[in-house]
Chains A and B, each alone.
Chain A
């Protein structure tokens, strides 16, 4: 389907295809196997200006917005979900600064993120605070013109690879979620170290790591927005970034469908190509249809954000839930279409199936998304 992508979006797509074909395809299996961060590919992405697209022009970006980010993430995900999230997590990490940062913070950090000179990450989750993000325990205590951070963040994408972290910590534990605040922490700050790097099922090229804060002193000017606004910053950040996860899911699914179509054209059984069996044709038809629907919903959600609408929560969540469920189903079916070969690491679909699973979990599990959608719908219905 033709979404009438404008010249800029088509240019982004072409660049991602070139990066995918030349730089990702030859190494994706190796990076997956080795649990290895795609440092060189991040440099290529930086040089091709893809880090500029979600950063406004006045801060060194090209200011193309959410739709452009979705197109880039989708296209890179067709080649590798792990590399794509290593890219997209930068936008997630930058989002608190973009949405709520001060002019000084924007001037100081955004140009370096736009050029790719520095990578970025977002740190909310802790061992005891996953879906219940309000349960974070990391403390930030004001001490003159500094804050002192103590606590451990868990499962932070780009952890150990990024140089700039946006971190949610409690400034007023008595007030629970309302006592949380958002901070910028730079790599190399004394008291800030990295914990263990996770060994994951999928998106293995991406780094997922603990951040440890032990009496880590950061300048008070690194507070984003105001004390007590941290939870709001986090929620707004996720509302804006969920179409990115949806785009990742669409891309992974499209990659799997492409492989399934290619294989079904080549493989013969019972003397005919397996794509002549109606049983497989119906699977392929459903896969293609579901992907197209997921893509339409993803672009709609990203497009809505670009209009500047404040009412993005429901559509963002819908896109994330739908596209990630599609990605899981389509990648499982792609393995099925490749049969035993699909189960082997020699073919890329088993990796795609492993990569797809995370899209149902991170940036809010699909259960949490469904309750967000339902709450928004119930609220809307009451207003009518």
Chain B
């Protein structure tokens, strides 16, 4: 089986600070990590590779330094990796990002499934996986909490959705987005780390993917950011204490607009 995992390098939000005046993220000096949700996608792909045989290729679109997440993925057990990087890819919105990733999947050839994280912790749109599926015109199963079965032909998976669990079957090739319920990602291994140090990671750009500048990066992005603004900070609520009777009376007063304390 040939599996692809799309991973994104993101700033470690645990370390991110906000510039209080401009309301923007201070990215300088913030360590970059593999998008935490993508570790579940990677584990799921490796789990099925270990069971069925085959290989796991990890791809990321990003600047040259994004290569480090690919090495990390190899240290965890991925077989190889490709960095999708070109100046022409800069400023991509989710459409352009997905279009470019889809071209990379096509270039890899004979792929059985592409695994995505649920969402990226910075962009947070959860659009990339579904949008790649649309680009490739492949079926997709999103928000997978459990893969029940995967074989040469098809996949049966449980989607954890708000209303409950949905069991979906799809034919391969397929695009999947994986929730953290699906597995416990393995820790890197010593041999994996040794391999990742030596691994040659090819870089694919615009020409390698047979794309044009008009369909990638800022040029290829239909989204236009007109302005960004920080929402007003919410004022803290009131906390009242007392017996149930007292609290009910208090609440009634407040709702009726009496006894407000500010």
- Where the two chains meet, the residues of A that have a C-beta atom closer than 8 Å to any C-beta of B are 7-8, 11-12, 14-15, 18-19, 22-23, 44, 47-50, 52-53, 62
Contact = CB atoms under 8 A, between A and B. Distances in A.
A15 B197 contact: no
B18 to A, nearest CB: 24
A62 B194 CA distance: 10
B191 interface: yes
Contact of B187 (A8, A47, A52, A53): A47
A14 B189 contact: no
Interface in B165-188: 186-188
B189 A49 contact: yes
Contacts, number: 40
B193 interface: yes
A12 B187 contact: no
A62 B188 contact: no
A53 B193 CA distance: 13
B189 to A, nearest CB: 4
B239 interface: no
A15 B194 CA distance: 12
Interface residues of B, number: 10
Nearest to A44: B187
Contacts of B189: 15, 47-49
A8 B195 CA distance: 11
B68 to A, nearest CB: 13
A11 B190 contact: yes
Given A8-B190, A49-B189, 15 more contacts: A7-B197, A8-B194, A11-B193, A15-B193, A18-B187, A19-B187, A22-B187, A44-B186, A47-B189, A48-B186, A48-B187, A48-B188, A48-B189, A49-B191, A62-B190
Interface string B180-221: 000000111111111001000000000000000000000000
30 contacts: A7-B197, A11-B190, A11-B193, A11-B194, A14-B188, A14-B193, A15-B187, A15-B188, A15-B189, A15-B193, A18-B187, A18-B188, A19-B187, A22-B187, A23-B187, A44-B187, A47-B186, A47-B187, A47-B189, A48-B186, A48-B187, A48-B189, A48-B190, A49-B190, A49-B192, A50-B190, A52-B190, A53-B190, A62-B190, A62-B194
Contacts of A7: 197
A87 to B, nearest CB: 14
A20 to B, nearest CB: 10
Nearest to A17: B187
A22 B43 CA distance: 15
Nearest to A68: B190
Contacts of A14: 188, 193
A23 B185 CA distance: 11
B180 to A, nearest CB: 13
B96 to A, nearest CB: 34
Interface of B: 186-194, 197
A14 B193 CA distance: 10
Most buried by B among A7, A15, A22, A53: A15
Query: A19, A48, A52 — which one has the most chain B CB atoms within 10 A of its CB?
Result: A48
Contacts of A19: 187
Contacts of A47: 186-187, 189
A12 B188 CA distance: 10
Contacts of B194: 8, 11, 62
Contacts of A44: 186-187
Contacts of A18: 187-188
Contacts of A62: 190-191, 194
Contacts of A12: 190
A12 B191 CA distance: 10
Nearest to A40: B184
Nearest to A49: B190
Q: Which 9 residue pairs are nearest across A and B when measured between Cβ atoms?
A: A49-B190, A11-B193, A49-B189, A18-B187, A48-B189, A48-B187, A49-B191, A19-B187, A47-B186
A14 B186 CA distance: 14
A150 B192 CA distance: 45
A22 B193 CA distance: 18
Contacts of B191: 49, 52, 62
Contacts of B187: 15, 18-19, 22-23, 44, 47-48
A50 B188 CA distance: 11
Nearest to B192: A49
A23 B187 CA distance: 10
A333 B125 CA distance: 51
A306 B29 CA distance: 39
A23 B197 CA distance: 25
A52 B190 CA distance: 9
B190 A15 contact: yes
B262 to A, nearest CB: 33
A12 B192 CA distance: 11
A44 B186 CA distance: 8
Nearest to B196: A11
A144 B186 CA distance: 48
Contacts of B193: 11, 14-15
